[in-house]
Structure 1
């Protein structure tokens, strides 16, 4: 084994060399010759993004607690170093030992965002690992995919040896134990993969076959041989208090996206927004015990030196002991200069009161996510938020001293009309008006409202997984309607409008709901030069359109088409606990603009509450 540390000459040529040198505070150092399993944990994006990912920090800490395992980190090299590594024939290496990734036993890749798919191929190629799983031999690491995009693994099926479906704290140790056992017995790579398919939550694509109907839809998806499970079940940790969590996370040398301590207060969400994939995937809701959170807050701040702590969850306002936790953090750390960040809060008096305690209201802006401009559309998507809630929350915020508000909406939602679209601008204007209802002497300068619209992408395992996606032209026309309507509002000078890139959205839609046939287009796009597609400055849509033409992949088939309720979807072989019957029921309720109660108000029978022996929040209360 040889170290591949970059020379001083190369480090002086590239942007932010600290991305590649390792040896950060709290990083783990082990003797590679004294472990049985080497695991390279990869986030296929630049270091600053990957270092901000909590999931990798948890798994890194968990795997390194095993004496027989060394978990190291690897990220996508930025384009400057990518070029040098290819020219100098330097293979990709791990940060900790600075040794080739290819020498590891496993390469685990987090699938967080569809637009990172070409970066996965970059990581494999720079690691000298064949891009196609079928071409790998006994000397290659086992390539594992996990994370939210693994819930439709099919577009990436050709590139991965296996996928881990669910939360990493559950089945990873069983997988490593099996690997050690079979390695010592001299078993082959193929034999290991076949045995791994029997571990709950493990999906091995090569052990399944797909056939198609004449119209291009899936005819059959089934195992190739007996003993391979027809359904792969998501793995969840029901007790999130007594499980793994890093008390000493790695501290980067340079500023990263989330440059703070992250304290995960709960998993799951009670709200049931019909567009939200995370809200369905991470059910049921599981809270961490407050004493555990207090302990880890103290230890993480002490072990990192960070001056900010962020409370992480899909809906922080719904954590039952949020006020007690925030009060503790203020009392314990406020005088020590520690800031408290509270993302994912709802618009209500309680949340505003909490935020006023932890933020300098004269410097910070408030972020609201109404998602839709009209009440009708908020009912369609089951947002559970009325216009009265929004305007009242905004007014209370303005009275509390805030004057900057960011509003997030979606365009292209199912059933949307032009009036619904115009209502985005009108709602922003009503919020601005509420600011000017406050006496002038009580205001904090001018009102600043930033309206941002993303374009809606239907995702697997949501009630909208069957719906037709808008075309690029439809998206852009809807953005133009909002833009014109904003300019027609009374308070237009107080409103700024931004919208997302339609080309990126269309591509995300293809990759989100694609099947195995899409893999050849991903490979061809990468060969055409596609890389860092999540970054505006490096995204080239023409690489993809050319790839579709060369491979015969029909973009419209995957995006501009409504699926029937009885169509076999590429991800139907995965069970997430939430039943297909529930998702279909919610799809129908959306068409009639019916609101479904949140989990605390009453169980809606989604199936996740009793999955893996859990109980419904309603039953607990």
Structure 2
């Protein structure tokens, strides 16, 4: 701690490293049987905005025999001080070195944090590669969305949790204690852990390649190890553990408000969206549960805003009733309610107007594509008429600024689709003028990200559009979106390219990640830190052509790097959805009562938990 105090005055944001937040949990180290360090491979402000961290913090610390403390990626100034002084990576609760913990658990939210994982291992004094670790090192585990293609990190992680972690973490901790705790046999633990549903131990699988570099086989190398690892899903979601005494950050973070998870999963079926697959099926919480949790969160934190969190909050079965009940309780306390995700329809705007009567925020809609043809390809289910009705309702309700999110480089995209983006933006701007929005306040912001093909989606077989062509499309949009009231934002194509490489990568990328880290790559998701030239050098040193990963079009019968990871949705269905996309055919939302046949419910022996059934079960 003495060393830490000497360092803090030398860094930009010392509050990132001191801990001591409201609702922090500190346990007696010597009286706790198993100790976990939860590692978020980005800065404090990003990590503390992550609901998954708060959930697992609550789940593990609710056990008498376990503790969980946090560590985050130190910013470059802090890393420099730590390396100069020999200060190891430490946790915020006790300021103990991470290497002293039994388990180091990373969350994988974004491919561009992978070099931070290696950097944190090195700062902790833990060997980078799992094969180099012995009895004196923590078990290094990981989970989260990027674990659905774990292969680029397979050399560095002892085991991955595939799917939701609330239950799996208990099973892993119980197994750890059963096998001797601090004195356990590492390999025996990993072999036993591989038998736990949803656990993938990469060292227990062999990957073989054809002469052309494509994968020929992914097979277990030991008995009792499953050929395919099926994701874990939390059942009876209404009663799932949830933190009503969340940690309150000690400095401004990305999402500084109370978070209320109203449902998990989405039924929309957008074909580019990985989250819509890996979080299936939809599970809703009852209004009674949500109101109780909201009351407790406000009482234990003092937040003046509650955010209703889910992939598509406006799809919650009784969203209007829920919002009205929350506001009736909270408005008198000066607490506002926010919806982070809105559908492109007038209903959502009316809902936004209702929830933001305490405090108004900006409105964002995501048409994703500029023409109806392309929106049908991606199964967006949004029309131009929907968008115009929504923005008209927004302008009528007093909003003066609208944000529109699009993707460029989507499969089958044509020049007219780019012009369609500009056309929609100009229509929205014109509608604002027609409705009397003052010209000095009227603003339409267009953000265009580049499509990145992700595993377990109908577009997993599609290549990414090449960088130079993406740049040309960005230049086209910049030219089309000039004028008063229009603002255009875009993403660096090099970063999107690297994201695609890592999202579609196999184990051979482990060499590239290590080379990139040794060359100084850190915080690749931050534009001020991202250095594409270093990455190009890393690929060169590893003898790997990254274009083979980002630009390859897979055939339906190709063995994909992630085919041994089962997200529950059948390959047959993903192929069918890809074919429908190429034909511009829509697939219905399964909330309509028409089952699209994705195969998840029979595979996982689970059904959607919609409110009618949830409340029936509660009363029964």
TM-score interval, normalised by the smaller of the two chains: over 0.9
Does the residue aligned with 1:537 lie in a helix, a strand or coil? Answer: coil
Number of the residue aligned with 2:162: 165
What CA distance in whole angstroms lies between the structure 2 residues aligned with 1:79 and 1:205? 31
Equivalent in the alignment of 1:560: 551
Q: 1:524-563 to 2 correspondence within 5 Å? A: 524-563=515-554
The answer on 1:458 being equivalent to 2:453 is yes
The TM-score, its normalising length taken from structure 1, stands at 0.96
Which of 565, 589, 596 is equivalent to 1:604? 596
Whether 1:578 and 2:573 are equivalent positions in the alignment is no
| Residues 334, 358 of structure 2: 8 Å contact kept | no
Q: Could you say which residue in structure 1 is the equivalent of 2:210? A: 213
Distance 1:45 1:186, change over 3 A: closer
Q: Which residue of 2 aligns with 1:367?
A: 364
1:137 maps to 2:131? no
Match of 1:615 among 607, 613, 617: 607
Task: Judge conservation of contact 1:138–1:189 (CA < 8 Å) in 2.
Answer: yes
Which residue of structure 2 aligns with residue 421 of structure 1? 418
The structural deviation recorded for 1:358 is: 2.5
Counterpart contact for 1:144–1:163, Cα < 8 Å: yes
Q: Equivalents in 2 of 1:89, 1:142: separation in Å?
A: 23
1:155 equivalent in alignment to 2:146:
no
Counterpart check, 1:181 vs 2:178: yes
Say if 2:172 and 2:193, in contact at 8 Å, map to a contact too. Answer: yes
Deviation of 1:165 (Å)? 0.6
Judge which range, 31-40 or 362-371, deviates more: 362-371
* Equivalent residues in 2 for 1:235-246, closer than 5 Å: 235-246=232-243
Once the two structures are superposed, residues 530-558 of structure 1 have per-residue CA deviations (whole angstroms, 9 ceiling, x without a partner) of 00111111111111000000101111100
* 1:268/1:286 contact within 8 Å kept: yes
Structure 1 pair 28/364, CA: closer, same or farther in 2 (3 Å)?
closer
Q: TM-score, normalised by structure 2?
A: 0.96
Give the aligned partner of residue 346 of structure 2.
349
1:381 and 2:378 matched: yes
Q: Distance in 1 between matches of 2:68 and 2:478?
A: 49
Over 3 Å counting, the alpha-carbon distance change for 1:50 and 1:5 in structure 2 is farther
The CA distance in 1 between the partners of 2:143 and 2:359, in whole Å, is: 41
State the Cα distance separating 1:6 from its structure 2 match: 4.2
* Stretches of structure 1 lacking an aligned partner (at least 5 in a row): none
Aligned to 2:498: 507
Shift of 1:170: 2.0
Aligned to 1:97: 94
8 Å CA contact retained: 2:34, 2:181: no
CA contact (8 A) 1:361 1:401 kept: no
Report the Cα offset of residue 605 of structure 1: 0.7
Is 1:26 matched with 2:8? no
CA distance in 1, matches of 2:529, 2:309: 30
SS in 2 for 1:292: helix
Match in the other structure for 1:65: 62
**Cα distance in 2 between the residues matched to 1:39 and 1:258:** 25
2:71 pairs with 1:80:
no
1:340 aligns with 2:337: yes
Q: CA deviation at 1:23?
A: 1.7
Q: Is the counterpart of residue 54 in structure 1 residue 47 in structure 2?
A: no
- Please tell me the root mean square deviation across aligned C-alpha atoms, in Å: 1.7
Deviation at 1:95, TM superposition (A): 0.9
CA distance in 1, matches of 2:441, 2:105: 49
1:569 aligns to what?
560
> Is the contact made by 1:603 and 1:617 (CA closer than 8 Å) also made in structure 2?
no
SS of the equivalent of 1:241 reads helix
- Give, in whole Å, the separation in 1 of the partners of 2:314 and 2:182: 52
Cα distance in 1, alignment partners of residues 182 and 261 from structure 2: 40
Equivalent residue runs for 1:236-315 within 5 Å: 236-315=233-312
The C-alpha deviation readout for 1:544-597, integer Å capped at 9, x for no partner, is 000000101111100111000000011111111111111110000000000111
Q: 1: distance between equivalents of 2:508 and 2:381? A: 38
Is the alpha carbon distance of 1:31 and 1:620 closer, same or farther for their aligned partners in structure 2, counting shifts above 3 Å?
A: closer
- 1:427-451: CA deviations, max 9, x gaps? 111111222222x3x7686421001
Query: Are 2:454 and 2:504, in contact at CA under 8 Å, matched by a contact in 1?
Result: yes
Match status 1:485 vs 2:480: yes
Query: Which of 389, 394, 398 lines up with 1:392 in the alignment?
Result: 389
How far residue 609 of structure 1 moved from its aligned partner, in angstroms, is: 2.9
Query: 3-state SS of the aligned residue for 2:455?
Result: coil
Counterpart check, 1:41 vs 2:32 = no
3-state SS in 1 of match to 2:299:
helix
Task: State the partner residue of 2:616.
Answer: none
Q: Is the 8 A contact 2:447 2:488 kept in 1?
A: yes
CA shift at 1:99, angstroms? 0.7
Q: Give the secondary structure class of the aligned counterpart of 2:179.
A: helix
1:176 deviates by: 0.8
Cα displacement (A) at 1:617: 7.3
State the shift of 1:184 in Å. Answer: 5.4
Deviation at 1:9, TM superposition (A): 2.5
Evaluate the alpha carbon distance shift between residue 293 and residue 185 of structure 1 in structure 2; reply closer, same or farther with a 3 A threshold.
closer
- Count residues in correspondence: 612
The equivalent residue for 2:618 is none
Distance 1:5 1:469, change over 3 A: farther
| Partner-residue secondary structure (3-state), 1:406 | strand
Residue 5 of structure 1: how far off its partner (Å): 5.6
Q: Specify the SS of the correspondent of 1:454.
A: strand
Q: CA deviation at 1:349?
A: 2.5
Q: Is the 8 A contact 1:5 1:21 kept in 2?
A: no
User: In structure 2, how many angstroms separate the alpha carbons of the residues matched to 1:364 and 1:235?
Assistant: 36
